[in-house]
Each structure stands twice: as structure tokens, then as C-alpha cells.
Amino acid sequence: MALNKLNLLFVVILSVYFSPAVESVNPGFKGRITQSGLDYMRDVGLQVLKEEVQKLKIPDISGDAHVPVVGHITYTVSNIRITSFSIPPTSTSLTTKTGVGLTLASTGISLSAWGNWHYSNHGFIHISDSGSFDASVSSTSLMLTLRIGVDNSGRPTISMTTQDCSFNAGYVRIKLHGGASWLYNLFSKDIAGVLKSSINQQTCSLVMKEVNDDLEMQLAKIKVEAHFDKTAWINYSLVAPPTFNGHIDTAHKGEVFPAGTGPHAEAPFTVPVIPSDPDASRHMFLWITDYMFETAGYVYYKAGVLAYNATQDTLPPDFKYKLNTDTFAVEVLLPQLNEKFPNMPMQVNVKALAPPMVRFTQPQVNASVNLQIDVFVINKDKSLTFAVSLDVVVHGSASLGCVENAAGGSSLTWTVKLIKTDVTLKRSAIGKIDTDGLAIGIEFACKNMLVPWINEAGKKGMPLPNAGNVKLQKPVIQQGQGFVKLGTDILYIPSE
């Protein structure tokens, strides 16, 4: 009984990238699969298993038997195919095994099969006959233990030993049809016994092959890094072995790092501690710390992405205000600039002085970024004349969400709202500046330029670990001190 779709029972595990590493540090990202999540995947797996088992081909069986009148015969049972298969969900469990992994136990398995039979005798006069048969197997039990570990690259491993599989095809009944079936049914018990022995021996061997070869090969292909964009990737490898205690808890690195294959320095941030939480009300939970967002800001800052030189040519086509000293806003906020450089184009350079700060709190997500804004006028020869330099701290808040992304997985999204700006004059070449008035103008510019840019990235969001056919359903987000908690049920969508 080759369990080609056995991985369906563990696909939810893959959805949080089951890849323990050897180093033990505070995780930037945690995952949990609850017992209800395992129960759901058990039910999905059993349904698909039922469909797949009926496609299996059982090897031909040969044997010897003694038949009254005919004498000693050699028989072959061939072209065996499964016609029905049933595993009651109520008598099947998928549970955790402390320090090991998972245990699948099932009783009351039944199946029926159809095939051909043929015999020949060893007497002086050669006699042979053939026909078809029906077989039924009932009162069957199965017990599997799946050992989950890790390889040197931090990816998951899964394995079984001969002691980890037990299969007992309880009662086997065979009915022969065709030929002198009434006579040959006298030795059907012999065939049933051989068939039972063959099923018992082959099932665990085939299951072990599926797990140790096929499923292990699939796990070896799991990527523990998710592509975010051309600048950044996300590391989801685990920093501690998973724990099995009625549910599966996993602890992941949860760090955003620069795109590319070369080594990179650790981001200089402390990972907040995620408190213990016994919640098991949903199929799956994810705890995401603000460390993930802070390392993202650090990567973009170091890459120089958080810098922008604005001229009239670089502004969005639909931006209705001109970068010119005669613009009404400039005349009001920087009258000295208009007086000294009338009707001249401007360039405004904005750059982050430090990585953005992100803090998760229970009522909201707080964010801030420290910017330097340098204002220039553009001369006729395209050279720049410095006017003023400002130190600006932009404070905002954010709300979080979860959406399906283009890759078929899910992403954590955000929407930012501007709260206020603090403006300090660093240097001026045009005299005294009214920073209070400038703060109002900069807030206006941030609302119309910076915030839309951040929110456009927020629509795409940060990709969460993805297991392909597993979708998150009705996610609920709760915020804590230093982390956000995502609770969700899961939906398995079969491949077409």
C-alpha cells in the first residue's frame, strides 16, 4: 500500500518550514500547529489517501496448494487492483510524540480487491484453469511513527525505522469465479493466507520507502529563505528543535537579510521574547516579532533604498504641486528662499539617518524614521545651490492585515497613518527659518508622498511561510508587546 500522498498529513508542518537548526537563540518568528490543525490535515489526508490507494497495483502472488481431486497445484493471482478503501476518521489519530515527532494510528481499515487467478497441476496429465476473484480485507490496523529531525543545512528531515511501522491485515476473504470455482474455492483460504502475509509484509516496506525516500526528498527541497524583493530576503530557518506536546511549536530565525549569496552581518537588534501562550483555538498560530520589521528597515537603510532626490522630473505625473521657489507653499513656508532665488526650480534630497524603528504594542504598531532633508535650488547650468538642511523625525502608526499574495501564499500587510513630525533646523544659507511652519508643510508632503509609498509596499506585504496548497483562512491578528499574533484555520486545495 504505497502512501504516495502521505505528505498531505504533514503539509501543514511544511507551511511553517519545519527546519530546526542547531543554534538556540530567541526566535524572531514562531509557529504552532494545534491538535485541531493536525486533525484537519488527517481528514484531508485520509480522503486523498482513499483516492490514491484505489490506483495502486499489488504485485502478482504465486503459491502452492493441495486441492481435492486435482491434487497438488501451483497457482498465480495477478492483475490485482483495489476496488474500494475505507479508513474511518473517527478511529484514526494523528498526534504528537514527545521528543520524536508524530504518530499516526488507525483501526477499522477495510478494502476490497479484484483480480485474476490461474492454476496448473503437477500430475501426469496436465490440467489448468483460470478465472477471476473478489477479495475483502477487514479489521485492519496501522501504526506509524514519524521521526522529524534536521540536516546540516537547517532543513527538515523525516524518517522511519522498521520498528516505527505496524500493519495488520486482520481478516482476508477470497471468492473465486469462473472455471471450476466451486472446487477451487476449497483452497481459497490458502490464497487468502498468502495474500494477507504479502499485504502485511509489503505495506510497511512501501510506507518506509515513501517516507525515507520520496517524502524526505521533498523536504530536502524546502526553501528556508523567502524572496521579498530585489533588495531583501527573509530567513525562516529554525533556531531550536521543534517541541511536541499536544501541539507542534517551532522557533524560526525570522530575520530579513540582504539579497545575494554572500555573507551578511547580523542586524544590531535585540529579539524580543515571545511569551508562552497555551492558545489552541485555531488550526495554526504565527507569532511575528518587530525584529523582522526592524531587520527589514536595517537592510533597506544599508542598501541606500531609504533615500530619494526629488526634482520636478522625478515626481509622480499626477503630483499637482511644482518644485519651484515661486510655489505658494514655498512662499509661505520659506519666504527667504523665494526672495533670494525667485522663480527657480528646486531639488529636495531626503535620506534616512538611521534604520526605521518599529514597535509592536498592544493597542497599535508604532513606527518612526529620522530623516535629513536638504533643499537646493537648481541653477541654469544644472548646478545646485544649497539653501537649508533639516532634521526631521516622522512618527506614524500602522494597522496590520493578512492577504493572499501572487505566489498563492499569504502575506502580512500594513497600512500606515502619519501622526506627527518633529523638525529641527540643522543649517541654513538663507537666514532664520520658522520650523513650526515647516513642520506643517513637511507633514503635508509626507502624507502625500512618503505615506503612499510605504502603503504601496504594504499592499504587497511581507510573505509568510507557504506550503503551496495550504491556504490561511479567516486570519485574526492580535498585538502584544514586541510581537503580533496571527491565528488562522487552514484550507487544503488539491492540485488540479
- For 188, the enclosing helix (H) or strand (E) is helix 188-209
Residue 9 has pLDDT above 60, yes or no: no
Query: What is the CATH T-level fold of the domain 36-220, as seen in this structure?
Result: Bactericidal permeability-increasing protein; domain 1 (3.15.10)
Query: Is 293 buried (19+), middle (13-18) or exposed (0-12) by CB count in 10 A?
Result: buried
**Averaged confidence pLDDT in the chain:** 82
State the Cα–Cα distance between residues 58 and 45, nearest whole angstrom: 21
- Residues 6 or more apart whose CB falls under 8 angstroms from that of 437 comprise 332, 333
* pLDDT computed for residue 18 by the predictor: 34
pLDDT tens by residue, 250-262? 888 888 999 876 7
pLDDT tens by residue, 32-55? 999 999 999 888 877 776 776 677
pLDDT category, 11, cuts 50, 70, 90?
A: very low
Residue 120 has pLDDT above 80, yes or no: yes
Q: What is the DSSP letter of 324?
A: B
Would you say domain 225-492 falls under CATH 3.15.20.10? yes
Q: For the chain, what percentages of helix, strand and coil (3-state, to nearest 5) are there?
A: 25, 45, 30
Q: Where are the domains of the chain?
A: 36-220, 225-492
Rg (CA), the chain: 34
Q: Strands of 405-455 (E only): list them.
A: 410-428
* pLDDT computed for residue 23 by the predictor: 42
Name beta bridge partners: 394: 369, 421
Residue 14 has pLDDT above 50, yes or no: no
Q: What is the percent of the chain with per-residue pLDDT over 70, rounded to a whole number?
A: 88
pLDDT category, 464, cuts 50, 70, 90?
A: confident
Residue 467 has pLDDT above 70, yes or no: no
State the Cα–Cα distance between residues 278 and 184, nearest whole angstrom: 62
Most trustworthy range by pLDDT among 35-39, 149-153, 232-236, 487-491: 35-39
pLDDT tens by residue, 201-226? 777 887 888 788 877 877 777 777 87
- SS3 state at 290: helix
* pLDDT computed for residue 496 by the predictor: 60
State the Cα–Cα distance between residues 271 and 254, nearest whole angstrom: 10
Grid cell at residue 368: 518612526
State the Cα–Cα distance between residues 428 and 432, nearest whole angstrom: 7
- Residues 6 or more apart whose CB falls under 8 angstroms from that of 235 comprise 224, 225, 252, 253, 254, 255, 256, 257
Residue 16 has pLDDT above 50, yes or no: no
Q: Say if residues 398 and 364 touch (Cβ distance below 8 Å).
A: yes
State the Cα–Cα distance between residues 470 and 494, nearest whole angstrom: 9
What's the average model confidence in pLDDT over 395-416? 81
Most trustworthy range by pLDDT among 71-75, 300-304, 375-379: 375-379
Residue 19 has pLDDT above 50, yes or no: no
Cell 481459497, located at residue? 188
pLDDT tens by residue, 419-440? 888 999 999 999 988 888 888 8
pLDDT category, 465, cuts 50, 70, 90?
A: low
Q: Say if residues 345 and 385 touch (Cβ distance below 8 Å).
A: no
